Structures are given as C-alpha cells and as structure tokens.
Amino acid sequence: MFKKNNLQQLIELFKKDENFNKQIVHWHTIDEKPAQLVDLPNEIDEKIKNALHKRGVGKLYTHQSSAFQLAMEGHSFTAVTPTASGKTLCYNLPVLQTIMDNPDSRALYIFPTKALAQDQKSELNEIIREAEVSINSYTYDGDTSANIRQKVRKAGHIVITNPDMLHSAILPHHTKWVSLFENLKYVVIDELHIYRGVFGSHVSNVIRRLKRICEFYGASPVFICTSATISNPKELAEHLTGAEMKLIDNNGAPSAKKHFVFYNPPIVNKPLNIRRSATLEVRRIAGELLKNKVQTIIFARSRVRVEIILTYLQELVKSQLGAKSIRGYRGGYLPTQRREIEKGLRNGEIYGVVSTNALELGVDIGQLQVCIMTGYPGTIASAWQQAGRAGRRHGESLVIMVASSSPLDQFIIEHPAYFFEQTPETARINPDNLIILIDHIKCAAYELPFREGEQFGMHEIDDILEFLVEERVVHKNGDKWYWMNDVFPAHNISLRSASQENVIIIDQTDISAVKVIGEMDRFSAMTLLHDEAIYLHQGVQFQVEKLDWEEKKAFVREVDVDYFTDANLAVQLRVLETDKARESEMFDVAYGDVTVQAMATIFKKIKFDTHENIGSGPIHLPEEELHTSSSWISLKDADSFSQERLEEGLIGASQSLKSIIPLFVMCDPSDIFVVPQIKAAHNEKPTIFIYDRYPGGIGLSEKVYEQFEEILLEASAMIERCPCQNGCPSCIGMEHSLDTAKLDSLKLLHLFLQ
C-alpha cells in the first residue's frame, strides 16, 4: 500500500506494469512552469489590496495585470489561458475597482450554467467581504425568489445571470432595470468557447439587443470574455459581441508537472477491430489508484456510465476506505452537496469523484492528483478543461484518456501531435441566420420601437420590419415600427434551437410531477425523438414512449440502458444556389444553399463502446423539408469503379468524413449530416454533401468548404491506419455488403485529393 499522495511511485509502477504499459499509445510529460508575476497596480484601492493579501495574492500574474490595464483604459478584450490560471481576477479586479471609484457603476456577468454562476458568486463575495466594502453582488436566475428580484434590480452592483434569463427576463423588462442599464460599465462573458453553433448564434443576437438597450439609456459597456483554448478566440468574441477585441494570451500562472497518457483498450475482436469497453478499463485503472489512496476524478460522458463506474468503485473499496470515500457528481447537485464534496477532498476523506462534464467548467473542486477520461470528450478544449481538474497549480498530476472504439476517439489517440501541438478547432456562429435574426428582431421591437434606417448588428433591417408588418406583429407609425402583438415574443423563442416549429419534450418518469425538460426543432426530432429513441438530456438517458407529431410533443421516461439509437434518413437533396466553388483535375468543391427533403425510415440500437448493432425498428413519420447551407465535393470521372463498388466507397468515405469533421469545426457530430449520392441531381456526378442540420445553416458547412482538403486527408489517414480487414466501426462503419468497401472508400478519398 502506498502512502497517500505518493503519485510518483504509482506512475513508476504503471510504467512497469505490462498489462497497462502495452496499451499506452503515448506518454506525454508537460514540465512545470514557474509563475510570471508583476506588482499589484497602484490604482487598486487599498481595501481590495488587503482582501487580496488575505487570500495570499501579493502580486498578479502577467495576464491578470494586462487584463486590468486594458479594462481600466476602456478596451474590450478576450483572455485565453488554461484552467486554474486565475481568470476570474481578470474581470473581478477591474469591476470592483470601477465600483470603488464610482459606486453607481454596474456590471453584468453572464455564465453558461447556474452551477458556475453560484460558484463565481461565492468567490466574488469572499473578496467583497474581506475588503469590507459595501458592494452588492447577486445571482438572477430562475431560482431567484420574487422578494429578492426587486432588490437585485435596484441595488445590484454586480448582477450574475445566464443567457436564457437575459433573453427572456431582463431585456424584455428593461424599464425595471433602469439603474443597471444607465450605469452599465462591464459585461463579462465567461467560458466563451461554449457559445458556438445555434446557441452562440442566438446569444450573439441577445448581445445585440443588450447593446441597443444600453445605447437607449446612454451606456456603452466594455466587454470582457474569457475562454478555453480554441483557434479563433478573438474572432469568436468579436462575432459574439460586435465589439472590437484585444487578445490576452500571455499566461503567467504557474503549472506543476503533468503526465498525459493516451490509453487504448485491448482489441477483443480482431477482424472488426472492436476493443474492450472503455468503461471497464476505466473501472480497473481507477480501482488501482483508489486502493492506493490517490485522489482521482473520473469523467464519463453520460449519467448512466457515471452510475456504472461509481457503483463498481464503491463496491471495490468499501471494505478498505468506506463507500463514502467515492462520490458521484452531476449537474443538478445543490451548492451544499458540492461544498461537502470539496471539503471531503480537501481533508482527505474523499478519494474519488465520478462526474459527467458538469465539473468541466470552471467550478473549483480542490486539489486532485489524477484525472481519468472515459473516452474523448468531443473537443480538445473540453479535454484540456477536464485535464485541468488534476494538479491545480501545485503537485505532480496524471491524466489518462481511455479511448472507446469510436472513430473520433481512435483518431485522437493515434494522433498525439495533433492534440498537443495545435488547436485546430474553430468555434463557428452565424448570428445572421435569417430565422434566428427575425426571432430576435421581434424581441428587440417588443423592447424598443425601431427607427427608420436603424441597424441591428451590421444589418439594414427595414425590409425585415416591412415583412413583419405584413405578418401583423409590428406596425409602422411615422418613422418608427412598434410591436403590436399580444404575445410576448421572447417566451416562444428558445436559444437552443433555430426553428420555431419545435417539439416539446415532456418527462413523465414521475406521473405525479410531469414536466417539460426541453425542446427540439422538427427536423432533428425525426431522428432523435421518434418512438423508442434513446434521448440524452444533460447526461440522463430517456426513452421516447410516444412522439405526437401533430401536437409537437414527445413523451419520455428515464431509463438505464447500455445502447443509443441512430436513425436512417432517406434524403433527397437539391442544390438551390452555388455561392462558392473551386475545381481541380479530378473533382469539384462547392458551397451554397440546398433544400433537403428527408424521411426517417428505420432506427438502429447501437451498443456503447463497441458500436455493435443490437436491434432495429421502423419509424412512421411524414416527410420534412429543410432549407440549409451545404458544402459538397463531386468526382469528375468514376469510370474506374463499378456501380456497386462506387456506392460502397461513397458510403464508407461519408462515414469517415462524419467522424473527422467535428475535429475541425467545434460541433457535435449530430450538428451535421453527410449524404452521399451516386448521381447528384445538379451535375449527375458522384457527390458527397455535408450540410448543417439547422434551418438556414449556422456556418459549419462553410468552414468545411474552406478546409475540405485537410479534412479529406485526415479521413483517408484514419482509414489507412485502422488495423481492421474490411471496414469497422472505427473507420468506415459496419454495414457494408462488399469486402472491398474499405479499399473503395480509400480509393475514392485519394481521387478527391488529386
């Protein structure tokens, strides 16, 4: 038995352990880095300095100092530094100092989750308490009681909220928030990289509405954004806020030595290249660490996996350490439960935490020595966020990423240089998506009338307002447009969807407490909410018991199963307009608008980890039509293929592209569809279409168009490297009728690259 904290001995043992060692694909060591410190700026008030001294802060890191200077000079900026590098002081210091200089000043903090908002409020209030100053900071979310709300509106120097509350509760009622909007000096947007895709496109429009109201009250706030590592933080921040940004990336925080291990479970089925379950491997590795009293956090992608790992580990160490020494952690935990877990970690009573990605964002849970990831979290930014949970600033730490059989996991595990040496992920938003834009113009018209010639963002919107006049939701009087509908628009607009024709998701697990847990646009609902679909909501598995298509309601019940569902779409796709195009000797690449007529036909049940097909069933739903943006690539000459082999090659190449694209565009695999056609209607050539799943498109396929050659190269490299014989879940998918499918997929991709 090792002494607690003796991680170094355990690392040496792992290196010698043959069972563990032969599955290690890459062992990467990041050396410790000393802090780069500068003196506290003279302008900081003595009371704040005293509070910082009490917290052990005598100097600032270089990035904190840069942030303070830029903010005090009135510049908007984005700070991009690793987890646990003291990003909160980048905004708390200038905000507190500005309020000390002028007690009428106000700040608005926007966090993507309630847990994060509560956590940041606690830290902020500690500084305020230790500084012994009368600055009021309040959270304003769905849990804020009615009697406190008035106090927040009138007396809150710092209002902490989330995008949904800003959209539906603060902006529409701005007349109740006059003291905030008249004196708003700072808007802080934390975890910037979360605001991508549809959600980011909506939030960008919410910020446009916020700026419009600020202008009405005579305020022009400075925007402060903080982000995990992505390749375009400045561009994303400028897109999101419409403000010119400075970039701060001179991280001065110290970091301890960190070992990052890529671990690939052993193959259990060689012809199909199916590996041992990542969950089972994680259980084995974590069990070894916990028996040796090494404090460990284990991340799993769904609540079901969290429960499986947690139950096993509690059973394993119950006799030695006590069942309470391993705890679960999920979204929805109360602050008191979180504090209890943090305290247990600090005083050594708790050795292990098993968590969904609820712990990924910013919440400080103390000093842990090891982080184990059950599979690749989906983006490099998320992987670093999770890795940052171990070895916060001091003490050596170990991070183990255990891969599943999925193509994305296998690609990452085999490409350590790709992971460590570059951040290729680009977060994309499209705030000018017409459907999203019109929704927010309605909200903005409700908040304040539009003047003739007034812009929204960079848009001339007189045409849109005239359209809304015809729709009888606004009317024109003189040179202004006024909202005239009885309905309050923000309530009907979800920030998570691009369409108003949404299907409401109703949880009826507890018949005595039936509740709405979410919504989804109709096009996505066909494949994700059909009868018997397994729907994941915040890591919880639900089975769809009934989809009422006419009433737009899906009734779901919580389940615990070891599979997910994937629906087949019969797609007819027509090109409406080509916006961009380029060609080579062998192929044409283009980007433009398409119309998609789709019908969900059957669904498959696919086992976690191994990705085996374990069942299927029919789907009975009408055809849906979607207008969106797409990129496509067409082969000029397919004479070297028979019809059957061309079809198999197109299907295999499409599967590999679908796996690889999320590495280049920060998106969920379900945000894009990849559709092969042997003879595309617009050019009669073999073509692969990649289109955004959302009406009007959100910029994902445009990014694919820009990087098509790189994506094709990575897809072909992934197939070439896969040790399977004829194709498998880790490269071109399972269901191929020809043994040559792998060969044909590769040949096709190589032709596209000539």
Which CATH number goes with the domain that contains 178?
A: 3.40.50.300
SS percent in the chain: helix, strand, coil, step 5: 40, 25, 35
Count CB atoms within 10 A of the CB of residue 514. 11
> In this predicted model, what pLDDT tens digit does every residue of 123-154 receive, in sequence order?
899 999 999 999 999 999 877 888 888 889 98
Q: What is the pLDDT of residue 2?
A: 37
Q: Do the domain assignments include residue 495?
A: no
Q: Are 632 and 685 in contact (CB under 8 A)?
A: no
pLDDT attached to residue 321: 76
- Report pLDDT digits (tens) over 187-222: 999 989 889 888 899 999 999 999 999 999 999 999
Give the pLDDT score at 499: 64
Give the count of domains, the chain. Answer: 4
Please check whether residue 122 lies inside any domain of the structure: yes
Q: Of 206, 223, 248, which residue sits at a domain end?
A: 248
Looking at the fold, whether 213 and 76 belong to one and the same domain comes out as yes
Same domain, 619 and 738: yes
Q: What is the mean pLDDT of residues 579-604?
A: 92
Does any domain span residue 197?
Answer: yes
pLDDT of residue 538: 58
Is the domain of 706 the same as that of 657? yes
Residue 368, domain member (yes or no)? yes
Above 80 in pLDDT, residue 364? no
pLDDT by residue (tens digit) across 282-333? Answer: 998 998 888 888 889 999 887 677 878 888 888 887 777 776 788 887 655 6
In a shared domain, residues 240 and 274: no
| Mean pLDDT over each residue of the chain, to the nearest integer | 87
Query: Are 18 and 45 contained in the same domain?
Result: no
Q: Which of 448, 464, 484 is the last residue of a domain?
A: 484
Of 529, 485, 481, 488, nearest in space to 507 by CA: 529
**Same structural domain for residues 578 and 684?**
yes
Domain boundary among 223, 248, 273: 248
Tokens of residue 270, six digits: 């060689």
Six token digits for residue 307? 């429960």
For residue 367, what pLDDT is reported?
A: 65
Domain range for 136 is 37-248
Are 210 and 235 members of one domain? yes
pLDDT at 382: 84
CA dihedral sign of residues 752, 376, 88, 173: positive
User: In this structure, are 347 and 443 located in the same domain?
Assistant: no
Please indicate, yes or no, whether residues 416 and 273 belong to a single structural domain of this protein: yes
Q: Supply the Cα-derived Rg of the chain in whole angstroms.
A: 27
Q: Identify whether 426 is part of a domain.
A: no
**84-98, 99-113, 373-387: which range is least confident on average?**
373-387
Half-sphere exposure of 57 (CA within 13 A, CB side): 20
For the record, the structure tokens of 140 come out as 């304003």
Q: What pLDDT does residue 331 have?
A: 55
The pLDDT value given to residue 4: 42
Reported as a single tens digit per residue, the pLDDT across 640-659 is: 888 899 999 999 999 999 98
- Rounded CA gap, 594 and 191, in Å? 33
| Residue 523 domain-assigned (yes or no) | no
The per-residue pLDDT for range 159-186, each reduced to its tens digit, is: 999 999 999 999 999 999 999 999 999 9
pTM, to two decimals? 0.85
- Assess whether 294 and 337 both reside in one domain: yes
Together in a domain, 475 and 387: no
Q: What is the pLDDT of residues 502-556, one digit of tens each?
A: 788 999 988 888 888 877 878 888 888 999 999 876 557 899 999 999 989 999 9
DSSP 328: E
* Same domain assignment for residues 152 and 240: yes
The distance from CA 357 to its chain's CA centroid, rounded to whole angstroms, is 10
| DSSP state string for 533-556 | -EEEETTEEEEEEEEETTTTEEEE
- Asked if pLDDT for residue 81 goes beyond 70, the answer is yes
- Decide: 687 and 752 in contact? Cβ < 8 Å: no
Has residue 522 been placed in a domain?
no
What pLDDT sits at residue 299? 92
| Residue 736 domain-assigned (yes or no) | yes
